[in-house]
Amino acid sequence: MPFFHSARWWAAAALTTSSLIAGEGKWTPQQVLQLDPLMLRKQGLELPVSRLWDPRRGAGLLAATVNIGGCSGGFVSSTGLILTNHHCLFGVVQEHSRPDRDLITAGFVARTREEELPGKTTRVTVPRKFTDVTAEINAAAPAGAGDLDRSKAVDAKQKSLVAACEASAGARCRVAAFDGGLQYVLIESLELSDVRLVYAPPRAVGEFGGEVDNWMWPRHTGDFAMARAYKDGKPYTPGFYFPIARTGVKPGDFVMVLGYPGRTVRSLTAAEMAAQRDFYYTLREQLYGEWIRALEDSTKDNPAAAITVAATLKSLSNVYKNAQGQLAGLARGRIIEKQQAHEESVKTWASPRPEFAKALLAKQDLDARAAARRKTATRDFLLQAVANGPLALKHATQLVRLAAEREKADADRETDYMDREIPRLRARMERDQKSLFQPADQAMFAAWIARALKLAEGERIEAVDRVFGSGDSLKTLAYLYQSTKVTSLAERLKMFDESLAQLRARRDPLLGFAFLLEPELRSFQAAEKTHDGAVARLRPEWRRAVIAHTGKPVAPDANGTLRVSFAQVKGYAPRDGVIYTPQTTLAGMLEKHTGVEPFDLPQAVVDAARTIDAAKVPLNFLADADTTGGNSGSPTVNGRGELVGLNFDRVWENVANDFGYNPAVARNISVDIRFLLWLLKDVEKADNLLRELQPAGK
């Protein structure tokens, strides 16, 4: 079966209303194939749908749409050149920056292939095949199994499907669950692990406006960069690449955004959404705010340290402002209240229909679980944060877990510690050293401990209490950092290969803390697995009722898999009395340029801009595409499949669209390809790259 053939949750729905398509919906490749071609044509799609995706050959524009380190990107040449966002390749730029060669500030142009800079952990996946495996997964769960057993059985089946899939050369596979288990799809991609930085603009261009303008409109940011994928030491030849549009977009034009949206939560019940608001986003805003201050304060007046923490600080700041936007948008759009009202109407509709009796019970159960989970939600958040917080804590817990998991047979291990993951885990541990500035890391750790020490009775973290609960926690922490060898790269890599007994014998105090924390992390993760098992049983029941009630195609929540969004270039009204037009230009960038960060353009850009009519160089544009995090770097293409821009952000009023789509404010932001061409030509004089970008229609 070359593609997923039964999009069961919506196949029965009629597909004839043209208003269905524009705007809302991150459509899977299979769904796109099932849409009415006439309707797509009316919207502005000039290509046959099979040119978007041909499931038999794994070919089409979607085959040129790659996942690059959790972002999206598109091939733009026959020699593996990939266009994505500056913020997606920022980690590679930071990896290669030093105070005496500060590529973050200066930008980077590889004038020859030899000059390109490898990203140690950067990987690209190219989609090949999608297969519906829902029946196999459901059959794997023993009838009447408890939730934990169900979850384990599903896990085991996924692992065996992935193992069989990865038997083919270069394949990287995953089984993706859609809407909590309504559908499971086995996705096979080609993985390319040799990815090199080719171009990054100076930060003052790639991030113009910084955190002031982030998630905002009007926008003037040149958020693009380029990488090249290699295979067997040679530039990779993609089956497809995007031609660069000769003409740009204008208001009203049809565009498509192709990419890998990461996570949305529209299929959650209102009670589950409220928990996301009250804990996940609220705590994120608080803790990440503290971490940002920790990084800023500890690197003040220290240029080398500022480079070391630059990528971490940038991503924390982005997520922090996103959390603020989610909270503000939920309140402003009354999204949870609307979800609740919608649920009431589904319930009223479903009540007299016996086929949905189970759906109503499932909904009750989901809500009851959401209520119960609130009791430990703060602790759970802190335990989750171990994986993306201070590096010393992350590494120590990973080393202990790795040693424990390695004692098991490969198929019995947690997915993250299976043999296929070990080389990448090791590479990340090595790469992390370039981001480790000990005082900053220690200050982040201190913020985490302070919160853990304030947890309510009933959700205490025992390991924290035992190690930091009495005496001066900051002094204890300082002692841990002074005595541990986990923060030394050479020692850490030795630890990477050690057994539990060897790690214990080291008597390293930070590893000691990790050993104490391990059982609590394990039991939290087991509880999460049990919950996942319950959700996989309940959510599909409820969603079937919601979708049947809706009576039209519903795109599943984002889950990091390839999607298409159909849209139109258009502005919006952010508030009463204000209308935003959908396009900005280089002239606006010059207007914003004050010479003070983050509005401080390089002189070369200012000089080049002053020699032309800057109002004629389009910079950013809006459309009503349905996007989220992970769509960063998504090719934005016109109806002929030609690249007109790259998605890089959403507008402030639209950040909370992760919970629900609101057509009035649903706007994504793309950087216009014409700005990139101007910059490469007039400022960077990067003729080699310009020659490589293929204009459409040649």
Quick check: is 632 catalytic? yes
CA pair distance 185, 178, nearest whole angstrom: 8
Quick check: is 613 catalytic? no
Q: What are phi and psi of 89, to 5 degrees?
A: -105, 5
Residue nearest to ligand GLU (CB): 629
- Cβ closest to ligand GLU, residue 87 vs residue 196: 87
DSSP 245: P
- Cβ closest to ligand GLU, residue 72 vs residue 158: 72
- Cβ closest to ligand GLU, residue 188 vs residue 649: 649
Q: Shortest approach of ligand GLU to residue 49 CB, angstroms?
A: 25
Residue at token pair 């989750």: 384
- Cβ closest to ligand GLU, residue 532 vs residue 649: 649
In contact, 529 and 151? CB cutoff 8 Å = yes
The verdict on 318 binding ligand GLU (CB under 6 A) reads: yes
Considering only 135-143, 474-482, 568-576, 623-631, which stretch makes contact with ligand GLU by CB under 6 A?
Answer: 623-631
Quick check: is 96 catalytic? no
Show the binding pattern over residues 280-309: x = contacts ligand GLU (CB under 6 A), - = does not: ------------------------------
Q: Shortest approach of ligand GLU to residue 631 CB, angstroms?
A: 5
- 617 class by beta-carbon count within 10 Å (0-12 exposed, 13-18 middle, 19+ buried): buried
Residues 6+ apart with CB under 8 A from 58: 2, 127, 128, 129, 239
Give me 287's structure tokens: 């803790």
Q: Shortest approach of ligand GLU to residue 46 CB, angstroms?
A: 26
Show the binding pattern over residues 525-564: x = contacts ligand GLU (CB under 6 A), - = does not: ----------------------------------------
- Cβ closest to ligand GLU, residue 219 vs residue 674: 219
Near ligand GLU by CB under 6 A: residue from 208, 515, 566, 648: 648
Give me 66's structure tokens: 């790659």
**Sign of CA pseudo-dihedral 298, 302, 304, 310:** positive
The DSSP-derived string for 137-155 is HHHHSPTT--HHHHHHHHH
Residues for the chain: how many in total?
Answer: 698
Near ligand GLU by CB under 6 A: residue from 84, 326, 628, 662: 628
The verdict on 649 binding ligand GLU (CB under 6 A) reads: yes
The verdict on 631 binding ligand GLU (CB under 6 A) reads: yes
Considering only 438-446, 574-582, 625-633, 670-678, which stretch makes contact with ligand GLU by CB under 6 A?
Answer: 625-633
Residue at token pair 């797509």: 40
Instruction: Give the number of other Cβ atoms within 10 Å of residue 499's Cβ.
Output: 12
Q: Between vectors from CA 241 to CA 240 and to CA 247, what angle results, nearest 5°? A: 135
CA pair distance 466, 514, nearest whole angstrom: 12
Rg (CA), the chain: 25
In contact, 620 and 670? CB cutoff 8 Å = yes
Q: Shortest approach of ligand GLU to residue 207 CB, angstroms?
A: 11
Q: Shortest approach of ligand GLU to residue 87 CB, angstroms?
A: 6
Q: Shortest approach of ligand GLU to residue 112 CB, angstroms?
A: 31
231: Cα separation from own chain's centroid: 25
Near ligand GLU by CB under 6 A: residue from 203, 650, 667, 674: 650
Continuous segment of H or E residues that includes residue 539:
helix 509-550
86, 87, 220, 593: which is the annotated catalytic residue? 87
CA pair distance 363, 542, nearest whole angstrom: 6
267, 317, 565, 632: which is the annotated catalytic residue? 632
**Which of these, 34, 206, 345, lies nearest to 633 by C-alpha position?**
206
Q: Shortest approach of ligand GLU to residue 632 CB, angstroms?
A: 4
- 381 class by beta-carbon count within 10 Å (0-12 exposed, 13-18 middle, 19+ buried): middle
Residues 6+ apart with CB under 8 A from 346: 545, 546, 549
Instruction: Give the number of other Cβ atoms within 10 Å of residue 408's Cβ.
Output: 12
Amino acid at 168: S
- Cβ closest to ligand GLU, residue 193 vs residue 634: 634
Show the binding pattern over residues 332-371: x = contacts ligand GLU (CB under 6 A), - = does not: ----------------------------------------
Q: Shortest approach of ligand GLU to residue 361 CB, angstroms?
A: 35
- Cβ closest to ligand GLU, residue 276 vs residue 632: 632
Question: Rule CB under 6 A: which of 159-218 touch ligand GLU?
Answer: none
CA pair distance 72, 37, nearest whole angstrom: 26
Q: Shortest approach of ligand GLU to residue 628 CB, angstroms?
A: 5
Question: Rule CB under 6 A: which of 460-519 touch ligand GLU?
Answer: none
- Cβ closest to ligand GLU, residue 276 vs residue 628: 628
Q: 295-333 burial, b for 16+ CB within 10 Å, e for fewer?
A: beebbeeeeebbbbbbbbbbebbbbbbbbbbbbebbeeb
132, 213, 223, 624: which is the annotated catalytic residue? 223
Question: Rule CB under 6 A: which of 73-92 touch ligand GLU?
Answer: 87
Question: Rule CB under 6 A: which of 415-454 touch ligand GLU?
Answer: none
In contact, 558 and 630? CB cutoff 8 Å = yes
Number of amino acids touching ligand GLU (CB under 6 A): 10
The tally of CA atoms less than 13 A away on the side-chain side of residue 324 is 15
Near ligand GLU by CB under 6 A: residue from 299, 627, 636, 662: 627
Considering only 336-344, 357-365, 502-510, 643-651, which stretch makes contact with ligand GLU by CB under 6 A?
Answer: 643-651
**Which of these, 555, 554, 551, 543, lies nearest to 13 by C-alpha position?**
551
- Cβ closest to ligand GLU, residue 398 vs residue 654: 654
- Cβ closest to ligand GLU, residue 40 vs residue 569: 569
Near ligand GLU by CB under 6 A: residue from 30, 77, 269, 632: 632
Instruction: Give the number of other Cβ atoms within 10 Å of residue 143's Cβ.
Output: 6
- Cβ closest to ligand GLU, residue 39 vs residue 623: 623
The verdict on 629 binding ligand GLU (CB under 6 A) reads: yes
Considering only 291-299, 472-480, 552-560, 624-632, which stretch makes contact with ligand GLU by CB under 6 A?
Answer: 624-632
Q: Which positions touch ligand GLU (CB under 6 A)?
A: 87, 318, 627-629, 631-632, 648-650
Residues recognised as catalytic? 87, 223, 632
